[in-house]
């Protein structure tokens, strides 16, 4: 049976979510049926007359609240004023809500989750931390048997980009910030990013979930990157470290839960030191799992929409009790023969190939080919003896 | 209400699962209640008279099947003969099953999942691919709105360890294998690992879930690492690549689904090139999320048990419909003041500190301290001016 969705907020992420819904990409597939979720409304204060989805735009939240067909509502408005009010009203109206709003969840999550439960609906927020990276759900499902020793991560891409520019190009903080703004990585008012406020909200949500109690943002020590100098990044590099803004929450030796945001010297041998540009990465250390690292795009229209949509599909799965993993019978018509799969290849060979050798190792010639299939590979080396052949990962 | 579990198989992973259950670590915590899962039986052919859990050991599957108290059964026997028979009987008896058995799921998953559905119970298998890494559940929940362009991964730690030894120490394959066996990383009969069979099973499970149809292991082109020479790894390194055994499943340009296992030349700039030792890492490339990388321990008693236990808890959550994320009110008694959190520090300073400078950058002295709290930090630099201070991540 088809479900209907309404999108609140048609900004960067909201556009991505609405597009995925409109493209028919939001669908719970079970062994016996498909349950598609279709876009019914887009709520925004603005008009979008030239947008292909412009005819879905409405301005009155009551249309959503009063439409019994609306099964799930996404919230990509941001902030904790209008968004908070609208989400409360949706939950009270018995609508499931999926949000990417870290500020609202960090500051009002405790209350809103209780309200969702009271009204027997889901409030999911995977996209609020780490953008497209699967993070909150794995933490509370796959890793749920662990006592969490620590969660540490690069959870703000803007600051990570700026720090990387400072380190690799010697650009001063102010110039690197201006560059990030020009590229659209930083907002005109960059305070939430560069002062660590965004990272603070995210580490609070991780701490809430990992340790089971509400950590108010205002008690979390939060230091941004505004005081970091190029000299500091150079000193760090000479000593074998990268300077990274980390959010950390951990169980201290005293048994207490700590959470804070601050720039750190991270040893180059640590995987977090190698996370550059706008990438995010979070390391979760548990008493049984040891350490897992989840990395990917921490922001952006399509990755963040991917996470919101994952929540929509999971809402259908969980609320409708169709939680079984499954797949269907083999489909020969969809299966590809490996001989047809093209790759660039490294080929070491003796004798005469139809391509000139590009060099040799230990007296054996080699070639790195264009992207070719196995038939073309055989043809190229028909007159030669292949000593070694490897596909190259692009 | 307490749930009861039975563990089938008391080998490496089974021991870890039983220990977690016995330690009271398996518990679904919701806002309003805690549902612990307790260990009732351990099924194994052997006796364990000296093991603390030895009194739980039974030898007759019927005891499990006929005990209405047994809510969930874990299967860590391995293989697809006895394990397959026992799992079928458990599902038919209405018991939920959580397994780490990749061979059984790759070869019999289609049938067993249908049987689970028919009997209205869960069959979960997160631990079957990537050990402790959250992988299968994130793929089918958080990332479910994506069309999967490719999944590529280092999904066998034994071969990854051997390749790394060959590359970094110039050890020949046979010697590196013997070393891996001596360290317990490779089995006495290493065929399943070094011939790529283990990786083949895992990439089949990933392909099944990503593309929605059953991919039989026997049609998947599978090449192991037995033909790789030290010269190949050296040639790769000179050209800027690492040799890695990859499992790959992807949608080709022809729209077909491909899956295979083969050694690849992986560019050093690719995150997979830096995954060394027995670590596993899987890169998932989707049309919306772009690329996420999930990395961690792909095997081992405690990490794999962590994944099985995550499945047990999720079984309770899903089967009992308690899917709401939640956390409780702030707990001041559990909260730690950041001033008390010890770290090693990098401190750049001018003037006289109570510790001698360890060097200087641009005329400014620096010290890397022992692990100290903020009070100790202030005391150390009481007579000095701190120019920069960073916590160091250990």
- Quick one: average pLDDT of A271-284? 94
Element of type H or E holding B242 = strand B241-251
CA-wise closest residue to B160 among B126, B199, B187, B125 = B199
Structure tokens at B253: 């340009």
Q: How far is CA A278 from CA A157, A161, B337, in A?
A: 4, 5, 31
Distance from CA of B58 to the nearest CA of A (A): 25
β-pairing, A148-154 vs B344-351, is unpaired
- B328 falls in which pLDDT band (50, 70, 90)? confident
Q: What is the pTM of this model?
A: 0.94
Whole-number average pLDDT of chain A: 94
User: What would you measure as the largest C-alpha separation in chain B, in angstroms?
Assistant: 78
pLDDT category at B319 given cuts 50, 70, 90 is confident
Task: State the Cα–Cα distance between residues A43 and A14, nearest whole angstrom.
Answer: 10
For the packed helices B301-319 and B12-22, what is the interaxial angle rounded to 10 degrees?
Answer: 60
pLDDT of residue B127: 97
Q: Using an 8 Å Cβ cutoff, are A283 and A206 in contact?
A: no
Residues of B in contact with A148 (CB under 8 A): none
Q: How large is the average pLDDT for residues A142-162?
A: 96
pLDDT (mean) for A13-22: 97
| Active-site pick, B40, B95, B202, B244 | B202
Instruction: Please tell me if residue B9 touches chain A, with a CB cutoff of 8 Å.
Output: no
> Is B92 designated active site?
no
DSSP strand pairing (A70-75 vs A96-99): parallel
DSSP B85-121: HHHHHHHHTT-EEEE--HHHHHHHHHHHHHHHHHTT-
pLDDT > 90 in chain B, percent: 89
Strand partners, A266: A242
Residues 280-299 of A with CB under 8 A from B: 286-297
Angle subtended by helix axes B197-211 and B102-118, to nearest 10: 30
pLDDT at B324: 67
The pLDDT of residue A40 is 98
Q: Which of residues 45-74 of B touch A (CB under 8 A)?
A: none
A129 pLDDT above the threshold of 80: yes
**Residues 6 or more apart in contact with residue A70 via CB below 8 angstroms:** A4, A5, A6, A40, A41, A64, A95
Residue range A84-116, pLDDT digits in tens: 999 999 999 999 999 999 999 999 999 999 999
Distance spanning both ends of chain B, measured CA to CA: 41
pLDDT digits (tens, 9 = 90+) for A179-221: 999 988 888 899 999 999 999 999 999 999 999 999 999 999 9
The per-residue pLDDT for range A157-174, each reduced to its tens digit, is: 999 999 999 999 999 999
In the predicted model, is pLDDT for residue B22 greater than 80?
A: yes
Whether residue A336 and residue B309 make contact (CB cut-off 8 A), yes or no, is: no
**For chain B, percent of residues with pLDDT exceeding 70:** 99
Which pLDDT value is given to residue A328?
80
> Which one of A221, A340, A390 has the shortest CB-CB distance to B254?
A340
In this structure, the number of other CB atoms found within 10 A of the CB of residue B48 comes to 15
Higher pLDDT, B335 or A65: A65
Three-point CA angle B150, B153, B158, nearest 5°: 160
For residue B361, list chain A residues with Cβ-Cβ distance below 8 A: 231, 234-235, 238
A289-300 per-position pLDDT tens digit: 999 999 999 999
User: Does the pLDDT value for residue B369 go beyond 70?
Assistant: yes
Q: How confident is the model at residue B30 (pLDDT cuts 50, 70, 90)?
A: confident
Query: pLDDT tens for residues A302-328?
Result: 999 999 999 999 999 888 777 666 788
Q: Which residues of A touch B143 (CB under 8 A)?
A: 134, 306, 310
In the DSSP assignment, the letter for residue B219 is G
């Amino acid at each position: 049976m088809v479900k209907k969705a309404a999108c609140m907020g048609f900004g960067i992420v909201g556009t991505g979510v609405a597009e995925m819904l409109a493209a028919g990409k939001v669908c719970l597939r079970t062994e016996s049926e498909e349950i598609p979720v279709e876009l019914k409304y887009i709520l925004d204060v603005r008009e979008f007359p030239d947008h292909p989805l412009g005819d879905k735009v409405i301005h009155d939240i009551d249309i959503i609240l009063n439409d019994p067909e609306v099964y799930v509502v996404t919230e990509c408005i941001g902030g904790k004023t209008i968004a908070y009010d609208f989400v409360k009203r949706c939950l009270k109206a018995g609508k499931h809500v999926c949000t990417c709003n870290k500020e609202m969840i960090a500051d009002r999550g405790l209350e809103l989750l209780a309200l969702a439960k009271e009204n027997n609906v889901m409030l999911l927020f995977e996209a609020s931390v780490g953008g497209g990276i699967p993070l909150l759900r794995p933490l509370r499902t796959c890793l749920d048997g662990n006592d969490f020793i620590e969660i540490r991560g690069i959870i703000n891409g803007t600051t990570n980009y700026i720090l990387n520019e400072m380190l690799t190009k010697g650009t001063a903080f102010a110039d690197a910030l201006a560059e990030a703004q020009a590229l659209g990585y930083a907002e005109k008012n960059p305070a939430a990013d560069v002062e660590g406020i965004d990272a603070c909200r995210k580490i609070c949500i991780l701490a809430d979930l990992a340790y089971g109690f509400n950590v108010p943002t205002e008690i979390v020590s939060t230091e941004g990157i505004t005081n970091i100098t190029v000299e500091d990044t150079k000193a760090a590099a000479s000593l074998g470290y990268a300077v990274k803004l980390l959010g950390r929450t951990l169980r201290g030796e005293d048994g207490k839960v700590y959470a804070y945001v601050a720039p750190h010297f991270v040893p180059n041998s640590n995987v977090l030191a190698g996370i550059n540009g706008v990438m995010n990465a979070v390391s979760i250390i548990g008493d049984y799992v040891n350490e897992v690292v989840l990395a990917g795009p921490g922001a952006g229209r399509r990755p963040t929409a991917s996470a919101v949509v994952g929540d929509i599909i999971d809402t259908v799965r969980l609320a409708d009790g169709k939680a079984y993993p499954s797949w269907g019978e083999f489909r020969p018509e969809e299966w590809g023969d490996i001989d047809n799969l093209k790759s660039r290849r490294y080929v070491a060979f003796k004798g005469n190939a139809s391509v000139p050798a590009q060099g040799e190792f230990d007296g054996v010639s080699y070639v790195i080919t264009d992207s070719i299939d196995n038939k073309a590979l055989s043809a190229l080396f028909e007159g030669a003896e292949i000593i070694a052949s490897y596909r190259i990962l692009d």
